[in-house]
Chain A
Amino acid sequence: MNVEATPAPGPAVGEGAGARRLTEWVFRVRELGIIAALALLIAVTAILEPRFIESDSLRNLALNASIFAILAAGQTLVIITRNVDLSVGSVLGLSAFLAGDLLSGNQDLALPVVFVLGIALGAACGLLNGVLVTWGRVPALVVTLGTLYAFRGIAFLWTDGRQVNAETLPDAFLNLGTDSVLGVPFLVLIALVVVLAVGQWLRDYRAGRELYAIGSNPEGARLAGVRSDRRVLSAFVLAGALAGLGGVLFTARFGTVDATAGTGYELTVIAAAVVGGVAIFGGTGSVYGAALGALLLGTITSSLIVLRVEAFWQQASIGALLLLAIALDRFVGLRVDAALRRRSSRRAA
């Protein structure tokens, strides 16, 4: 990711150049590692079942991962601040049904309006989460576990057993889920834009860097004059807004929506972020890693389906991957810590 030109290390740069290279290398390895795992997975599956790499199949892979990647981008913002948002699946469900309900009731409604309303609904849900976490001083795990059920409950009340079907939705909207621009599905394009935008914001803007500071040392961030509450609140609002966007896209892609849309997505999304190297205790990780994690998880599921592996093994393999990723992070983290300390003590000596 960091492909900017680094100035040649001058004479003032002592031990640190090595330490820096080491940590940069670890972060790159993290993302490259996922890409390598992806390539290996696709290659093995393709050998066993050549149809897996037909363009339709790959297209489906990318489409399936897109919504998860958007959610994972939002989740990353929250996790980096040492919080978590378990309610994203329910928020997606609400927004998906809103989009379906609006459009089946009024075929001529301008699509941007639907998107704006879906995103706004998600942002409002995120705002509620954020307010409870920052002003209410309630742990995010508890708050969003509560809103996970509450939002889902609202969805059930609202739908009242109804279901939105593809036939009642305007074609222009459904085409969003299938159309391509220059061969790239529209949905994938949106996901790419979202991931890149959030990634750049986290990397190159003060507000983004402050999220890392908050997650790395909350008390330190406060003493450094970071307005932590405001930043954490904005992370939750953004995560909610992206879940809202995901909801509208969900309806466009699948056409059929009921009150259960997006159930269980939150765990997949958190798993994607963790597999992608976002530390669950905050402070490190990137949106790119999380998005790649989403792609990897989606690809595993698809490849196991293609290989006709039983559903149980699909779940188990995702679990194994999670444990592997965490174990690897811990191992590499300890090694890097030790290396950094060694370099420091050499300097002191």
Chain B
Amino acid sequence: MAEGVVSEAAAALVELRDATKSYGAVRALRDGNLALRPGEVRALVGENGAGKSTLVKVLGGVVRRDSGDMLVDGQSVDFHSPHDARDAGIAVIYQEPTLFPDLSIAENVVMGYHPLGSFKRIDRGAMNGQVQGLLDRLGVKLDPERPVRGLSIADQQIVEIAKALSFDARVLIMDEPTAALSGAEVERLFAVVRTLREHGAAVLFISHRLEEVFTICDTVTVMRDGAVVQDARIADMTPDEMVRRMVGRELSTLFPKQDTAIGAPVLKVHRLTCEGVFVDISFSVHAGEIVALAGLVGAGRSEVARAIFGIDKPDAGHVEIDGRRLPAGKPLTAMRAGIGFVPEDRRQQGLVMDLSIARNATMTRMRALSRLGIIGSGAENRLAREWATRLRLKFHRLENPVRFLSGGNQQKVVLAKWLATEPKVLILDEPTRGIDVGTKAEVHRLMSELASHGLAVLMISSELPEVLGMADRVLVMHEGRLTAELSRADADEESVIRAATGHVGEVAA
């Protein structure tokens, strides 16, 4: 599968051969082939969900591979915990925060490996001195004795980096270490990485910022759909080529959006800002239109949706429905004004898993269905049955708990719940995540049909084919800002990825 393998004389410090990992029915990693040699800085690139993080977790001992081999110094090994990986000299900076807010920076860095004095007591002086040294090396003025609680995201990232550098790691794996760092801080991190390289360590660097990849890396591994698809020298690659390899697939014809007459603007978002999360977001969605909000995970898309619906209160800006301004931070008012919101995590936020299909589907209409505060089950079932038929829901009995439904059918129940309120605007956050292909097409058909009846749809999606197939217009966010607005004609995989990775304007769309 891999092409143009770099041949190096040196033996790999760590190597994965044909590693696979599945979560239930989802194959998160297949053909996991990767070798890190002394003095090598290797980039690992790919779209969201391409399997990068799974590969990192396998290397870090967080998850165990289902099959394939892992070798350290040519010896076959099996990591049972992150502890084993660390003992093998592998340091990992994970994407998710792993710090202890109640403890000092110094303790966070050396946890479990505190320098010891007499009677195996922790030598606090040595510990603080050691961590101060690391922080100086990274060029940040932070007091090692202050608690981590209250640190900015960038400073927390620095502590994570210090943690990974705190022992003589031969292999350093960094999953998006620069996401929150400033230019100067990134420069200093790179200086440290170069020093490590000179000392014969291997570095695996994951970043969505391609310019960083080209600045610091020697080799690159490209992943797509859970598999490693290319292994090459950076010198032999161009950014364009890399993006093409990351995207690579044919645009399927699975997602047709019917052409619909676009009406008047329904939802208007005006200069919405939430400090540190997203800045100055303005756009509008018209009746009959599907607008996709694309971008990488963490770009702030879900947060924008939450602010529009009033779950979070923005610091500045406002939202209008049909020209009427909504009060900030009031979901109930937003609902009454005609916004429906299908959240990203339907199990946690969209449904009450143990309640019946009927009760879930009619939850937003409880007040209308009740007489003197008592909900009539007849009225409830009638309404639920109506929606079940319209959405082609597959179920045994309306009284069964929703947790017995498949993911796709659960999503239909969430949709029914919101459609029952007869919204003017429907916000869908990752509407087809974790749904099988057949039902996916069903959900897309529904979205298209709803739009044709004049509903304004705002869809957040990390799946490019879905974005390109469904959207009349594509808005792209990068690190909390809108970086592009692309019409259906202008939007293609490259232009969206470029904007999502902050490469606007380098290539004419």
Contacts and interface: CB of A to CB of B under 8 A. Distances in A.
Say whether A and B bind each other.
yes
Interface of A: 4, 7, 12-17, 19-20, 23, 204-206, 209-210, 212-213, 215-217, 219-227, 279, 283-284, 336-337, 339-341, 343-345, 347-348
Given A213-B103, A340-B150, A224 B82 contact: yes
Contact of B146 (A219, A221, A340): A340
Contacts of A16: 141-146
Contacts of A343: 150
A43 to B, nearest CB: 34
Chain B contact patch, size range: 35 or more
B99 A220 contact: yes
Nearest to A227: B83
A61 to B, nearest CB: 32
B101 A216 contact: yes
A227 B101 CA distance: 19
Contacts, number: 128
Contacts of B150: 19, 336-337, 339-341, 343-344
Interface string B92-116: 1010111111111001000111101
A23 B143 contact: no
A283 B81 contact: no
B168 to A, nearest CB: 15
Contact of A19 (B99, B113, B143): B143
Contacts of A341: 150
B101 A217 contact: yes
Contacts of A284: 102
B149 interface: yes
Interface in B118-164: 120-122, 124-125, 132, 136, 141-147, 149-152, 154-155, 163
Contacts of A212: 100, 102-103, 107
Interface of B: 60, 62, 81-83, 85-86, 92, 94, 96-104, 107, 111-114, 116, 120-122, 124-125, 132, 136, 141-147, 149-152, 154-155, 163
Contact of A4 (B92, B124, B155): B124
Contacts of B143: 13-17, 19-20
B146 A213 contact: no
Q: Is the interface of B mostly helix, strand, loop or mixed?
A: loop
Contacts of B96: 219
Given A12-B141, A225-B86, A217 B124 contact: no
Contacts of A279: 102
Nearest to A220: B98
A209 B145 CA distance: 15
Given A344-B155, A345-B152, A224 B112 contact: yes
Contacts of B149: 336-337, 340
B145 A222 contact: no
B120 A20 contact: no
A328 B232 CA distance: 59
Nearest to A10: B132
Contacts of B121: 204-205
B147 A226 contact: no
A23 B150 CA distance: 12
B179 to A, nearest CB: 16
Given A23-B146, A210-B112, A283-B102, A224 B163 contact: yes
A173 B142 CA distance: 56
Contacts of B141: 12-16, 347
Nearest to B87: A225
Given A12-B141, A224-B82, A209 B102 contact: no
